[in-house]
Amino acid sequence: MKSTETGVLSKSDLYFSSPSQTSKRLFYYVISAGHFFCEQGYHLVRNNYDSLLITHIIKGTFTFVNGEGRHITAREGDTVILDCFKPHEYYTNDSFESIWIHVSGANSFELFKEIESVSGNLVKCRDAEHVKRILFRIHDGISQNNPSTELAMSLDIYKVFLELLNTMSIKSKSESSNEENIESVKAYIFSHLDENLSVARLAENVHMSASHFSRVFKQQTGFSPYDFVLICRLNRAKDLLKKTDMSVAQIADETGFNSESNFIYFFTANVGISPRKFRKMQF
């Protein structure tokens, strides 16, 4: 099918797909896909299109407006993921070629939020060619020439999400410094679990602002500082419960929880059983 949008060249194509009710309940699914060749004049502004857009730039430049109103340009080898449930805008100032899909289903939005929190909306994948190949396979899978099962399509979409989570790491001097800083903070956390470990205090240790530190920490570890501290405290608590005779109150104090009741609440909510039941459990 050919597109009639302004700025989309005639050699472009796009396809639409209608998922089954089973696919909507259980799988990732494609709403539309295309292989576009666009020139100056292509400019899309839309209130919503209930899906996520994943577009891989093969040639040229593709500019989108992010949630903060910034105009960000993706180039050859870059992949862009956008929340099209919200108003969105993208265009080119010269030209581009891209392979793109609109997807939804399963936990796609949660995966999008994770990708966005780590990399933003412009992602530099470790294996850009692999991403391009999978996107073309999905594109071909909803064309009339090469139909694909919904399960196979869902698996390919998930593979794309995994590639977007597996971002390329080009270590500049500052990035290497960030790695060292975060390792230093992790060591500090391990040795000060019984103290108040606020984000501001941790950031101060490596001379960063709290917001910048939180972003870098998430990039380096996959956890927010708060979640990382909580997990370390819970793991330490488990160790103490199984290897010592310390009381629950003592362990709560040793692992930095404000009170015994607070410790019991967090432990039970995260582990699924109370500290006392955990201590009695045989492994």
- Which pLDDT score, from 0 to 100, does residue 29 have? 96
pLDDT band at 171 (very low <50, low <70, confident <90, very high): very low
- Domains of the chain plus CATH, in order, are 13-165 (2.60.120.280), 173-280 (1.10.10.60)
Q: Determine what percent of the chain is predicted with pLDDT higher than 90.
A: 82
- What tens digit of pLDDT does each residue of 31-45 get? 999 999 999 999 999
From the CA atom positions of the chain, what is the Rg in Å? 24
Examine the pLDDT at 282 and tell me if it is beyond 90.
no
- What tens digit of pLDDT does each residue of 156-166 get? 999 999 999 98
Considering the entire predicted model, what is its pTM? 0.66
Q: Give yes or no for a contact between 64 and 137, defined as CB atoms under 8 angstroms apart.
A: no
Averaged confidence pLDDT in the chain: 91
What is the pLDDT averaged over residues 201-227? Answer: 90
- Which pLDDT score, from 0 to 100, does residue 126 have? 87
